[in-house]
Amino acid sequence: MPSAPFVSQGHAAGRYTAQVRVLPAASATKYQSLVFSTKLPIGALIGQFHTLRASESPGPVYLMKRQEDGWRFGIVRADGNLDAELEPALCQRCHADARSDSLFGLPLSELPDSDAGN
Ligand code: HEC
What pLDDT, in 10s, does the model give residues 20-67? 999 999 999 999 999 989 999 999 999 999 999 999 999 999 999 999
- In this structure, the residues whose C-beta lies within 6 A of any atom of ligand 1 are 8-11, 18, 20, 46, 48, 62-64, 73, 75, 86, 90-91, 94-95, 98, 103-105
Number of domains in the chain: 1
57 within some domain = yes
Calculate ∠ Cα 100-10-110, nearest 5°. 70
* 43 belongs to a structural domain: yes
Query: Ligand 1 centroid to 76 CA: how many Å?
Result: 14
* pLDDT at 118 (0 to 100): 42
- The band of 113, judged by pLDDT with boundaries at 50, 70 and 90, is low
Distance of CA 35 from the midpoint of ligand 1 (Å) = 17
pLDDT, average across residues 104-115: 71
Is 117 part of a structural domain of the chain? no
Q: Ligand 1 center to residue 10 CA distance, Å?
A: 5
* Best of 94, 102, 109 for a ligand 1 pocket test (most atoms within 8 Å of beta carbon): 94
Q: Is residue 96 part of a domain?
A: yes
Residue 91 Cα, ligand 1 centroid: separation in angstroms? 7
Nearest CA to ligand 1 atom 36: 91
Strand partners, 47: 21, 63
Question: pLDDT category, 99, cuts 50, 70, 90?
Answer: confident
Structural domain boundaries enclosing 52: 6-110
118 in a domain, yes or no?
no
Does a structural domain hold residue 90?
yes
Let me know if residue 1 belongs to a domain. no
What percentage of residues in the chain have a pLDDT greater than 90? 86
* Residue 116 within a domain: no
| Pairwise CA distance, residues 28 & 47, whole Å | 11
pLDDT of residue 110: 63
Please give the DSSP secondary-structure letter assigned to residue 35: -
- Average pLDDT, whole number, for the chain? 92
